[in-house]
Amino acid sequence: MQNRIFEGEKSKYQQNRNLQIQGGQASIYFAIDLKNYQQVVIKEYFKDSSFQVDYAVLKKIQDKYSENLEYLVKIYDQSSENEKMKFIVIEYCNQGDLYKYLIKKQQEVQTLEQAIKVIDIAIQITKGMMILKELNLAIEIQNLKIY
């Protein structure tokens, strides 16, 4: 199977793995940005899904609050007018599930610096939730990232 090319407004992206995750409103693909060869994730929305709402909300949060929320997943691009299916291109975060990551980090804490890092992540999550409340939004926690 040949890897698919996605045409965004800013760049083109080539699907780089056969892995596809199917959700209720979208499919998720791993891809490479053909301009800078950076690994990204493409979320391709099914017809009649919430693409415009999701993109607008995430972009608004990123533009207004990204300086205060280092753990927010970055949005790089969206589908061009030429694309039949709508998609957004987001940052690839390779640390996986936030809950498992926090449990693992909590178990590894042996120094004050490590404890402060875990507390900082919890503070970032709290800040993010406060911003969502301020904007009267509910958003999936999977849109938070970890380092």
The residue ranges of every structural domain in the chain are 5-143
Burial 98-109 (b: 16+ CB within 10 A, else e): beebeeebeeee
Domain 5-143 has CATH 3.30.200.20: yes
Helices then strands, each counted (H, E), the chain? 3, 6
| pLDDT tens figures, 135-145 | 776 555 555 55
- Tell me, what amino acid is at 11? S
φ, ψ of residue 12 to 5 degrees: the values are -115, 150
Cβ–Cβ under 8 Å, residues 80 and 92: no
Contacts of 133 (CB under 8 A, 6+ apart): none
Looking at residue 144, what is its pLDDT? 52
pLDDT for 77-98, tens place per residue?
988 777 778 888 988 887 766 7
The stretch 5-31 carries a mean pLDDT of 85
Provide the mean pLDDT of the chain. 79
Pairing of strands 87-91, 75-78: antiparallel
The C-alpha R_g of the chain, in whole angstroms, comes to 17
